[in-house]
Structure 1
Amino acid sequence: MSAIIASFLLIIGSIFCLVAALGMLRLPDTLIRMHAATKAGTLGAGFILAAEAMAAGELGTTLKAVAVIVFLLLTAPVAAHLIGRAAYRQGIQLFHKTWIDELGQTIQKAPGDTNQADPKVREK
């Protein structure tokens, strides 16, 4: 029975990883791509690790898999945020259908910040 559950988890994880890869290829800009990499990639890796823990059936392997899943859930959103913020500050163009630019408004209001992208680049 545990082999069937592990197979099911592995298939689900593989589908999430495929969706993450397709999202990285098809989505239009860096800020939108980071969502595919973070959300679907983390879920895919989590399901694959859960399948490994289920298939192994040992306490040591299960604890290692749980530790890696927790580490992924804690670090992936922070990494995506930092990548998106760095890309924005480097002046990478937003998708032309992006309506709200809250970070641009915050950066324009920050006094004394010399490491800013040119706000005129973002204007339409």
Structure 2
Amino acid sequence: MSGEILGTVATALCLLIGSGFIIVGVIGLLKFNDPMTRLHAPTKVGTIGIGMLLLASMIHSFVLGETSVHEILIMAFLFVTAPISAHFIAKVSIHRRSCDTPPAPPRDDTWSTLSAPEADRKSESTVQE
């Protein structure tokens, strides 16, 4: 087998894997009802799917004898921005109270919740006056 055939097979395999991940993400996005559960399908699975499609593009351009770094830049941007945007969407959903509230922590009632300690609430009210 020549390198060109191996590259074509690797490109096809990456395209199939990426397409499979994207289809799973789309099905999850359509199936889930709550905005918080909808976040997981496109952000987690879609990122891997798009990454595989970009990898297929890089392999294909390498097989043709061309170099392309655009895909690396797109992957870096995607892997940095997708988790951040998912985090912001989740925080907005929590603050708007459009989803179930997070469970109460076992020992401390202010850690990782929207509650504030009583001392902080008193200091905020004196600052606002």
Common topology (TM > 0.5)? yes
Of 41-50 and 102-111, the range deviating more from structure 2: 102-111
Percent identical among aligned pairs is: 29
* Counterpart position of 1:55: 60
Offset of residue 105 of structure 1:
5.8
Moved segments of 4+, more than 3 Å: 101-105, 110-113
Aligned length: 108
Offset of residue 69 of structure 1:
0.8
Instruction: Give the distance between the partners of 1:104 and 1:34, measured in 2 at CA.
Output: 23
Backbone CA RMSD of aligned residues:
2.4
1:43 partner letter = I
- Find out whether 1:20 has 2:25 as its counterpart: yes
Instruction: Give the distance between the partners of 1:104 and 1:91, measured in 2 at CA.
Output: 18
Offset of residue 28 of structure 1:
3.1
The TM-score with structure 2 as length reference comes to: 0.73
The TM-score with structure 1 as length reference comes to: 0.76
| Structure possessing the higher radius of gyration over alpha carbons | 2
Offset of residue 32 of structure 1:
1.5
Q: Partner of 2:98: helix, strand, or coil? A: coil
* Counterpart position of 2:114: 107
Instruction: Give the distance between the partners of 1:71 and 1:80, measured in 2 at CA.
Output: 14
Offset of residue 20 of structure 1:
0.6
Structure 1 residues 69 and 105: CA distance shift in structure 2, 3 A:
closer
Instruction: Give the distance between the partners of 1:75 and 1:8, measured in 2 at CA.
Output: 26
* Counterpart position of 2:127: none
> What 5-or-longer segments of structure 1 have no aligned partner?
114-124
